[in-house]
Amino acid sequence: MSAEANSDTFREELWMWGQDDDKPRFLHTMIRVKDFDAALDFYIDGLGMKLMCKPFDVPARRVTATFVGFDSLEAGGCVEIVHLWDHEGDFTHGDGYGHFSVGTPDIEGTLARMVAKGAEVVVEPTVLIEGGPAVAFFKDLDGYQVELIQTKRTQ
């Protein structure tokens, strides 16, 4: 393919993760969800994430997906939310994958907000190691565990 022909097909919006990186970078972690809109509301309105791009279809895979995160695509990891067009029922969770983790300056307030959004508390805010931050766990609407770590000292 000639350089000219290639430049015709280049689509910058598809290179949202970078087109001139010189080293590897952590991009995101992916979860499949039953109710796409409910998951977006949970993570955006509840946890305070932002929509990183317009939800998009991948017809070849029969999925709709998007990315949510706290800052920008460059600053830290995002969560890819995927809806399978043909999947029925709940997703299953093995015993290998654990959770993803979010730092928050107000662990109690964040957990309360997530519970109001339908989260199930797994571990109430607890200082696991003396002198360290409080840590909590909840399950999201699809049963994925999310860890919260207090990232602001209040005492």
| E strand or H helix that includes residue 9 | helix 3-9
In the numeric block, which tokens belong to residue 127? 């200082």
CB of 54 to a copy of itself, least distance (A): 14
Active site (annotated) includes residue 147: yes
Cβ closest to a copy of itself, residue 37 vs residue 132: 132
Q: What type of residue sits at position 24?
A: P
Q: How far is CA 89 from the centre of its chain?
A: 21
CB of 121 to a copy of itself, least distance (A): 18
Neighbours of 124 (CB within 10 A): 13
Q: Is the separation of the CB atoms in 55 and 83 below 8 Å?
A: no
CB of 53 to a copy of itself, least distance (A): 13
Q: Which are the catalytic amino acids?
A: 147
